[in-house]
A and B are shown apart, each in its own frame.
Chain A
């Protein structure tokens, strides 16, 4: 009676499979794995036995399967599941007595016989070790969230549209200033005649060239368009905000063709 009770209650010291989770690039500290991390051994049952075995994560970041059922040789699929990390699936072959014959990496969506790297294989010649230890392989980490683009003034400046606008602004405001500055202060002054050479060297643009430039600018459709756009509000703000109309610079550029009529009008007015 006593012996029977003992036999009934005692756990059979069958082979144990221990999977350790080593630190890796994806998972530098395996202790951050949540408590829900678990491993399963799955196969189609040849008999109606408990055929899905589960092991929970231990404090030492290992997963231990005790009491692998014996009776029939089985080929198990070993999966390790954690909410955020993905692990490589393994193939675990078990002999009829419940001892482990071999463990290989396997590839999902590939034939079962297509085995990958060998993790463990039983030493036929030597004595059978009951406990098998293999290392799990972390494949990657799942990203659950979408990053939301943050508003920052710097990113606004990085925007090529804004950069173009700033350059344009610098040109419209800065060029006339530059022109005026570059104009020699008193080219006709007799008292400074002796220093003319210096002045010419100093001046970026000589007066003739400047006059020519001004003439050109006056007749240029770009200048006209810009001035029109500035004065008449030809820039479609709402459209630009909606992204349907091109930006201010593009508008100005686009207006090159269309603005000629206006410009002509302006010329007529000037003539009158």
Chain B
């Protein structure tokens, strides 16, 4: 009931700024990302025995496992199974089994392949999962369609093989190896399970020990050791351990890479094959590709890669004698190439994808079954491929997923690129909107005119207009089309010229830079590798046509915003920086960059900043807040140290662009409460981890004076504490526990508003003063604000806060809160968070006129406040807002995990003709009225004439 009341009130008050279903994908875009896929855990799989369509499953380097629809590359479901312990993720699935099993660190979980819901999960204390396999054979006892999982868990000094029930995850049996060998992998044949471990021998070399286990009881059947001494030094020197094929293999080479040695697991025989290297180059990489299906033919392919090219050889295994023989070879090709294996029933197909073509061959013979020319080769090297082959009579169709070095992957169907997923965007560390160059040109021309004499400016202007005339014929040609399309098209008015669909430049931690087209669902315009190794991006700044990215080691890269070409680079210099300050001034409404300054770890600026008028507030590594003036970079002018025991976790200031439309708040009785407007506000958050106390300190950035402070008890310091300052208010959120009899447990959102005085029409000590000084104690010194606060209980943690920015600040602001547990971003209208809402009584008519309504302790987020609506936007670390030329509209960009962009219209799109304005309806109404007039006019005329005649 309370909830309903809260909902009702919220519905009454909030301006309905929700998104319309038809605006989805038009005003917003979303990249639902997994991260760079790990190629040995990526596969096509039919999620249920009934369905014919397969999904693409993968686990990424970020330990996010998910299913992708291969048709359009859309995410079906995903789960983040990353553990603090880390470790590479593994994912296994089997055709016809409605489950995929993933493992990362000390955690194994089984998920429904179709819907991504949990089947079972289990966690171990100590030890991490080294390998998992799904048992393809069916027990007589087990229900069909449910396959058990075999997992190898590597502890500190022992290895454990366990069999988990496919339905419940219960452990059926366990085999413990405490011999001190390095647990390596598990594999299975139709009759046995093999546990493979590396027994360390002399001189760092290892022997492969194979233990056969009974699949039903887990008892050791036999054990033998392969003599690999001298060849194998560790897990990385074993090329391949065949999984689940009819003849599971283990393959390695000798140290000189002259011979390939293959053992069919379960036998003692080791076959040696001479590597026939005719390329004359050193072999860099050898990969073995074998089918993973139990019923498939015992064929495998070995792919040899050199610096400039690659070739492959196909081998057959005689099941009876376990002899490996060479069948045929795929010729040496220049450039990069990748191989993928796929099955149709028992037949095995190998797909070779090179720069120029994709070729499908059967494992049985070297005849080419299908060949497709590739689109233009990508500069991004391909690392691996996964394919699905469908036979159509004699020919075959193939769709392949190519994993690129950058982590991006794309699906190629018969040589055509169907989709590309920019997975490396998942570790985006900085983003900004690109500035277009053309408008700069016009601004420059206007500036020239402004500085010339009257006559000169006039001539310049006439010339400019004459020059513009050359575009006239083209404009006239386009005119009819534009008129028709604007009437008929479903599109909203094209707002591109208002800066609404600017490209977004995103820099990732891995050194890549992307440009995303916000107008076309965030499609990648260009991407470039700006740094070879991970960089510590501290600042990204866009100006006319270029984007500058500064990293923490002092180096910077300038990238062309429209092409992605690297314009210039500057080398590493100076000490390691904690952050980079971007001094911005405002010339009218456009921001002007005044300068750039590095801040060191100890909080001191790298150099004095005499050429910039301003001051600087920094945080130091030892938990102090420091204030600096231009001329001195050695000693701060002021220093803020929190009470002992407290540690500074965050300091925020008002956004650089934070215009205030009105200096006061008009009350219902027409009196005015004056806002406490100080552009130098700094909100410092400090926590005491032992006593669970959080302190919020509002400082004046010039003098370091504490204007207001709040202390909250029972705060969980490990949960996110978000805060934001804007205009004359600030907000923060935390998890609060019970501290007294009447206190509640849960997440809280507190908002405080600052006024010059508690009395309307009064400015307190400032009175009629036009100026005040933060520094002088006499005269108009900085007064303390009158603070009004209210706090609300909320249902979820807020991990990040931001405020919408509009051009002039007339539009109501919204508090943008990232909800990390429900994977969404909510925009709370400011009027809801007004701390002057009446408590325990209904508002008076004057208050109601002001828009105030009764305070309710629980703030429920209305569904219409969700900017992300039904999207699942995960992992957001930062949310940016930016004004457009339209006062109503603010651009929003969220990144850090997924990348999400939208437009917010906090007071509705009052300066835009939206979609609800039907031009066609307007035209039809006018036409109908015209017909009506044409029909009625003669009648009326006749009547009037008649009337005149009758009157006389």
Q: Chain A: residues with CB nearer than 8 A to chain B?
A: 1-2, 5-6, 8-9, 11, 34-36, 38, 40, 42-45, 51-52, 56-59, 67, 75, 77, 79, 81-84, 86, 89, 91, 107-113, 139-140, 142-149, 151, 173, 176, 218, 227, 230-231, 233, 237, 241, 269-270
Contacts and interface: CB of A to CB of B under 8 A. Distances in A.
Contact of A9 (B126, B821, B937): B126
A181 to B, nearest CB: 17
A151 B118 contact: no
Interface string B823-863: 11000000000000000000000000000000011101011
A35 B117 contact: yes
Contacts of B394: none
A1 B177 CA distance: 11
A51 B936 CA distance: 79
Given A109-B856, A144-B864, A218-B947, A43 B737 contact: yes
B429 to A, nearest CB: 25
Nearest to A58: B118
A47 to B, nearest CB: 12
A147 B870 CA distance: 15
Contact of A146 (B19, B112, B858, B951): B19
A6 B176 contact: yes
Contact of B22 (A5, A148, A151): A148
Interface string B73-90: 000010100000000000
Contacts of B918: 151
Contacts of A56: 79, 117-118, 121
Given A9-B153, A83-B824, A146-B20, 9 more contacts: A5-B155, A8-B126, A9-B125, A9-B155, A11-B123, A79-B821, A148-B20, A227-B947, A241-B922
Contacts of A81: 795-796, 821-822
B392 interface: no
Contact of A1 (B178, B823, B922): B178
B158 A5 contact: yes
A144 B870 contact: yes
B745 interface: yes
Give the interface centre of B155, B714, B792, B821 by most chain A CB atoms within 10 Å.
B821
Nearest to B124: A9
Contacts of B916: 148-149
A5 B176 contact: yes
B718 interface: yes
A142 B117 contact: no
A67 B155 contact: no
A60 to B, nearest CB: 9
A168 to B, nearest CB: 11
Given A5-B160, A8-B125, A146-B19, A59 B112 contact: yes
Contact of A77 (B745, B863, B866, B943): B745
B944 interface: yes
Interface of B: 2-4, 7, 16, 18-22, 77, 79, 111-112, 115-119, 121-127, 153, 155, 158, 160, 176, 178, 692, 714, 716, 718-719, 735, 737-738, 741-746, 792-796, 821-824, 856-858, 860, 862-864, 866, 869-870, 872, 915-916, 918, 921-922, 925, 929, 933, 936-937, 939-941, 943-944, 947-948, 951-952
B58 to A, nearest CB: 16
Name, among A6, A52, A89, A112, the residue most crowded by chain B CB atoms within 10 Å (CB to CB).
Answer: A112
B178 A145 contact: no
Given A59-B117, A83-B872, A84-B870, A112 B744 contact: yes
Given A111-B741, A140-B3, A145-B21, A11 B122 contact: yes
B111 to A, nearest CB: 8
Contact of B119 (A59, A109, A151, A233): A59
A151 B921 contact: yes
A237 B918 CA distance: 18
Contacts of A2: 176, 178
A3 to B, nearest CB: 10
A222 to B, nearest CB: 14
A227 B922 CA distance: 26
A148 B915 contact: yes
B746 A77 contact: yes
A89 B794 CA distance: 11
A183 to B, nearest CB: 15
A84 B863 CA distance: 8
